[in-house]
Chain A
Amino acid sequence: MLADAIRSETYRFTRNRMAVFWSILFVPVLFLAIGTAVQFFTKARMAEMAEALPPEMTAEGGPMALSGTLDLGQSLLAQAGDFANPIVMLFVLIGAAIIYAGDYRWETWRLTSARNTRINLVAGKVALVFGVVLVALATWLVFGLIGELIKAAIFERPLAFSFADERPGQFAGLIAVTVTRVMQFTMVGLLAAVMSRSLLAALFVPMVVAIGQFFLMQALPLLAWSAGDLQAHLLIPGLSHDSLKTLVQGGPDAAAAPDGLAWKAITGLTVWTIVPLVAALAWFSRQDLSKE
């Protein structure tokens, strides 16, 4: 029965080409195009930039390295860690909002609601959004690697793929953290969609909440809170995401993290994922679906 809900949601979503393009393809294509243009620009101005930047920046292994071996393993890790950026989240949210609020917008609940339980109907949507997020992540990684290959070709740099030791674990950890963050963001959209029956609300409410949380994060020092305070994580899931990412990536920042940061961050991200989902399920299970 849940399989039926997932199958029907997938069938409908994949026929909505615009939704598929904007939520999955647009951002990777955009970033690839901009990145490639920047690489060509940099190549044209390479000599001037090399003189203007500090030598450690452009040396091999530096953040603006223009020569030396390009490690695709490192690039893959960086790309995975950058997945839950605001632009990706915004465009994935377009697809999620269409999935969550489409039946209200098109008045199609009456066609499907008698064929499955209400829990399954919502669970089917959430499962599809999870699938969309995974496909968006895969597309993001593939286009990121294509960008690195283009960069290597432009600068005539040799390629390597180093993915041993701690890197598989880091990669898995980063994917878990970033995918959870994107799902958490869409859960706010789910709750907004169910409560308001509106596609626009499903889009704008998560954005407004995220903007509010961004400003709250900037105001942490004013509140005398730090990243180690549980209440900060319970209010700002973005802080939890950033904290977990730092811990997974390791290095000096992770070593300097306050005690208990991991479980506080996991708690914050989990609460912001589960609470909207449970609230949406509870609301939807008693909702009058004749008022679409």
Chain B
Amino acid sequence: MTFVIETRGLTKTYGSVRALDGLSLSIPRGGVYGVLGPNGAGKSTLFRILLGLIRPTAGEAVVMGGAVGDVAASRRMGSMIETPRFPPFMTARQVLGWLSAAHGLKADAARVSGWLERVGLAEAADRKVRGFSVGMLQRLGVAAALITEPELVILDEPTSGMDPPGIQEMRALIRSLAERDGITVILASHQLLEVQRVCDRVAILNRGRLVREGAVSELTSSGERLRLSVTPISKTLEVLAALSYASGSLDGDAVVATLSRPETPALLRALVEAGVDIDEARWVGADLEAVFMTETGSVQMPESIHAG
């Protein structure tokens, strides 16, 4: 497996605050990779270091096979971090022409028009950026990250400020970048449902450290539970407490049992023998939000997480 980004012991301190605390992370080439974490987890600091905007206090990072600051390697990467800003007197088309020039490319009208089309800005191509909404700036930011046709693109909150159809379009675009164009996409978002839908793998950061990393399917399947709609609930909980292979807890008007799948018939039999009426028994996977909450130990979810 080849990696587009590798960090080892990456640390960044701002005074007494450790924004990154010995982060070691390897991001494989291909697919869409999500970087998750609550506010202050270190996501933006990580991206800023990878882009060479700031220097780490300790540790090292390798991007596209070169050290951070290696321009030849950095030129194979595109990025959009935080809310994108552009010179207000330029049109969207001119912004892409300008960034093409910065990259040593000629302002190829077809390429510029193609990316404006793909991000949904074809009709606004010749409008000045100063009149753009936040959602339009996000779209232009994504086009700006992609205009040089990089092998790796980092997108920080790409759907921020977009309406639901826009979010859906962006999700489709991100998947197509990975699947059609073969671009490795690294995505940071608070929209956990979006991340779950679009990412192949995720890393969860908390307080500057990596707390969990893996394929989305692995992370969610590892949290599978058996959801039981039963009567009476108290009897069900008693049965579960007495079993060695299972445990249970109350979740609203249902009981959630933790056990391995092969033990399911035995559990159901035990419940029936104890006189419990079972209306429904259904395996449910943990969603990414549950994994995120568990791993980050968040007591209160940020509002943006609820929105996802």
Residues of A that sit less than 8 Å from B by CB: 1, 3-5, 7-8, 10-12, 15-18, 102, 106-117, 286, 288-290
With both chains docked as a complex, state the minimum distance between the C-beta of B97 and any C-beta of chain A, in angstroms: 6
B residues 44-98 with Cβ under 8 Å of A? Answer: 44, 48, 51-55, 71, 74-75, 77, 79, 81-82, 84-90, 94, 97-98
| Contact call B85/A106, Cβ cutoff below 8 A | yes
User: Which residues of B are interface residues toward A (Cβ below 8 A)?
Assistant: 44, 48, 51-55, 71, 74-75, 77, 79, 81-82, 84-90, 94, 97-99, 101-104, 107, 144, 148
The answer to whether B79 touches A8, judged by C-beta atoms less than 8 angstroms apart, is no
When the two chains form their complex, are residues B101 and A7 in contact, meaning their CB atoms are under 8 A apart? yes
A8 to B101, Cβ gap below 8 A?
yes
- The CA-CA distance from A124 to B164 in the complex, in Å, is 42
* A1-B71, A16-B87, A290-B48 known; A116-B54 Cβ under 8 A: no
Known: A15-B94, A115-B74, A116-B71. A110 touches B102 (CB 8 A): no
Q: In this complex, what residue of B is CB-closest to A10?
A: B101
Given A15-B98, A288-B54, 9 more A-B residue pairs with CB atoms under 8 Å apart are A10-B101, A12-B90, A15-B94, A16-B89, A107-B85, A112-B99, A112-B102, A114-B75, A116-B102
Tell me if A290 and B85 are in contact (CB < 8 A).
Answer: no
Task: Tell me, in angstroms, the Cα distance from A7 to B90 when the chains sit together.
Answer: 16
In contact, A114 and B86 (Cβ under 8 angstroms): no
Identify A114's interface contact among B51, B87, B97, CB under 8 A.
B51
Question: Inside 8 A of B94's CB, which chain A residues have their CB?
Answer: 11, 15
Decide: A115 near B75, CB < 8 A? Known: A289-B53, A290-B48: yes
At the interface, is chain A mostly helix, strand, loop or mixed?
helix
Q: Verify B54–A108 contact, CB threshold 8 A.
A: no
Q: Are B54 and A4 in contact (CB under 8 A)?
A: no
16 contacts between A and B (CB under 8 A): A7-B101, A7-B104, A8-B99, A10-B101, A11-B98, A12-B90, A17-B89, A18-B89, A110-B81, A112-B99, A112-B102, A115-B148, A116-B71, A288-B53, A289-B54, A290-B44
* Complex contacts, A11 vs chain B, CB 8 Å: 94, 97-98, 101, 107
A4 touches which of B77, B82, B101 (Cβ 8 Å): B101
Roughly how many angstroms separate A5 CA and B52 CA in the complex, as a whole number? 17
Q: B residues within 8 A CB of A110? A: 51, 53, 79, 81-82
- When chains A and B are docked, how far (Å) is the Cα of A106 from the Cα of B88? 8
Q: Which residues of A contact B87 (CB under 8 A)?
A: 12, 15-16, 102, 106, 108
Q: A18-B89, A106-B87, A106-B88 are in contact. Are A8 and B98 (CB under 8 A)?
A: yes
A15 touches B103 (CB 8 A): no
User: Is A114 in contact with B52, judged by CB distance below 8 angstroms?
Assistant: yes
CA distance A110 to B89 in the complex (A): 18
Rounded to whole angstroms, the CA-CA distance of A107 and B81 in the bound complex is 11
How far, in whole Å, are A114 and B94 apart by their CA atoms in the complex?
20
* CB-contact partner of B104 in A1, A12, A286, A289, under 8 A: A1
Q: Which of B44, B77, B102, B103 has the most CB of A within 10 A?
A: B102
Cα distance, A33 to B5, chains bound together (Å): 61
> For residue B144, which residues in chain A have a CB less than 8 angstroms away from its CB?
111
Cross-interface CB contact of A106 among B75, B86, B97, B102, cutoff 8 Å:
B86
Nearest CB of chain B from residue A279's CB, rounded to whole Å = 20
Q: How far is the CA of A206 from the CA of B74 in the complex (A)?
A: 35
Determine the distance from Cα of A161 to Cα of B177 in the docked complex, in whole angstroms: 65
> CA separation between A89 and B18, bound complex, in Å?
46
User: Complex: how many Å from CA A13 to CA B90?
Assistant: 10
Distance to closest chain B CB from A5 (angstroms): 7
- Which of chain A's residues has its CB closest to B104's CB? A4
Do residues B54 and A115 form an inter-chain contact, with CB atoms below 8 A? no
Residue contact A8 to B102, C-beta cutoff 8 Å: yes
Point out the residues of chain B lying under 8 angstroms from A5, CB to CB.
102
Contact residues in A for B99 (Cβ distance below 8 Å): 8, 111-112
